[in-house]
A = this chain, B = another copy of it.
């Protein structure tokens, strides 16, 4: 047998110390409850991170609701895929496109209100383990929706229900209310280098 090298022993000792610290943190985190996640910032990944969690939740047999607040297109890969699980997934495309596509603020505001009415129903339903409010920061940011009733409904939701809100420019009060907040910074994007939005990657 080969002898145990000193650097190997040092590594092992360092990792044992690290494991003790990690284990302590894990032992300190014992609260079980629904988590409010906000994915904001300018980079790619805010919505796809939410859809990844949809897959994760489905793997645990949870019911999931997804409400898309801006997007109007209904041909995305994610929608087509997750609609194959109608018993578990409720998917709603409630938008009609970006503000520069609709060019009609009153109508945008009315659509946002309708999306919120629907969202509020899921936020009151303990059968749903995960509710994704995709691109929901925009109605708040543009003032189409008041923040106060949204924060109240989030606070009053079933205790084990997770919620993920995505979109740029999340209001400060929403960040304060959230448990986990990721700000996705765009370091670079293929689009700026002339690459088309590719199916299976961007939509």
* Chain A interfacial positions (CB closer than 8 Å to B): 8, 11-12, 15-16, 18-19, 22, 25, 28-35, 37, 39, 41, 43-60, 62, 76-82, 98-106, 129-130, 162, 175, 178-191, 193-201, 203
Contacts and interface: CB of A to CB of B under 8 A. Distances in A.
A51 B56 contact: yes
A186 B182 contact: yes
Contacts of A191: 25, 29
A19 B37 CA distance: 31
Given A30-B194, A101-B19, A183 B185 contact: yes
Given A29-B197, A45-B39, A80 B101 contact: no
Contacts of A102: 15
Nearest to A106: B8
B15 A100 contact: yes
A185 B40 CA distance: 10
